[in-house]
Chains A and B, each alone.
Chain A
Amino acid sequence: MQTLPMALPFVVLVVATLVAMLGFRWTAIWVSLVAAVVMVAVFVTHLTTPLQIAL
């Protein structure tokens, strides 16, 4: 599986915090949900062998 860049969730989170402070509430909410999905995706693609074997 292609390993996703570790910086990706941080970049999405920075966008979410910025749009929140600029007053775009719903955009921030949706972007934060995207960030959560990206975080989990990065976690899954970074799984190392022991857990993959265990699963």
Chain B
Amino acid sequence: MAAVARTLNAVALLAICVVLLVVFYWQLARGELPCPLCLLQRAALIGAGLGLMLNVRFGASESHYGIAILSALAGAAFAARQILLHIVPGTGGYGAVLYGYHFYTWALVIFFLIALFAGAMLFIEAQFMEGVRDWRPTAAAQILGWLFVALALANAVSTLLLCGFGPCPENPTGYELLQR
């Protein structure tokens, strides 16, 4: 069961990496610049991914799942806030639509799924028997971990370029640091 849990964590982390890559594609290739709430949802997604990455890197622990759940709850709050901003008919939405829903609606669904996943995984008690000290990550786990670090770093650089060292504009039209 512990091996199944490790694999499931790696798959979930890979899925989060794919989501981060998709939003990056939309930002860089389609010019869809993220709003402040969109950026906060990305940060929360990285936070949730960090919890799963700790499971992949060190072995499963309840505290790792706790990080994923707390970050998912924060991200869900950010996404719900953005949905509520546009819930009144006629107020429109922000950004592009993917398969009929805005990105922030998808974000709420994803955060709900992450919290559900982490909560359900806590029931697999066999994964906690190994202990985090004995765990040696595989080469694939290391590669996945470093891919996640690279995506987190890319998001940090992108946000710095977009917003500079201050708050972000509500509707960004360009990269703040590049326009100086």
Contact = CB atoms under 8 A, between A and B. Distances in A.
Interface of A: 3-7, 9-11, 13-14, 16-18, 20-21, 25, 28-29, 32-33, 35-36, 39-40, 42-43, 45-46, 48, 50-51
A6 B149 contact: no
B130 to A, nearest CB: 14
B153 A32 contact: no
B33 interface: no
B145 A3 contact: no
Q: Is the interface of B mostly helix, strand, loop or mixed?
A: helix
B12 interface: no
A42 B152 contact: no
Q: Is the interface of A mostly helix, strand, loop or mixed?
A: helix
A52 to B, nearest CB: 12
B171 to A, nearest CB: 12
Given A21-B57, A29-B67, A35-B47, A5 B166 contact: yes
Interface of B: 36-37, 39-40, 43-44, 46-47, 50-51, 53-54, 57-58, 63-64, 67, 70-71, 74, 77-78, 81, 85, 132, 142, 145-146, 148-149, 152-153, 155-156, 159-160, 162-168, 170
Contact of A39 (B47, B81, B146, B152): B47
Given A17-B149, A20-B50, A6 B167 contact: yes
Given A7-B163, A10-B152, A21-B53, 18 more contacts: A6-B36, A6-B166, A6-B168, A9-B40, A9-B43, A10-B39, A14-B156, A21-B146, A29-B64, A32-B67, A32-B71, A33-B70, A35-B47, A36-B70, A39-B40, A39-B44, A45-B167, A46-B167
Nearest to B46: A13
Smallest CB-CB A-B distances: 5 pairs: A10-B156, A3-B167, A9-B43, A6-B163, A6-B168
A26 to B, nearest CB: 9
Given A3-B166, A32-B47, A25 B132 contact: yes
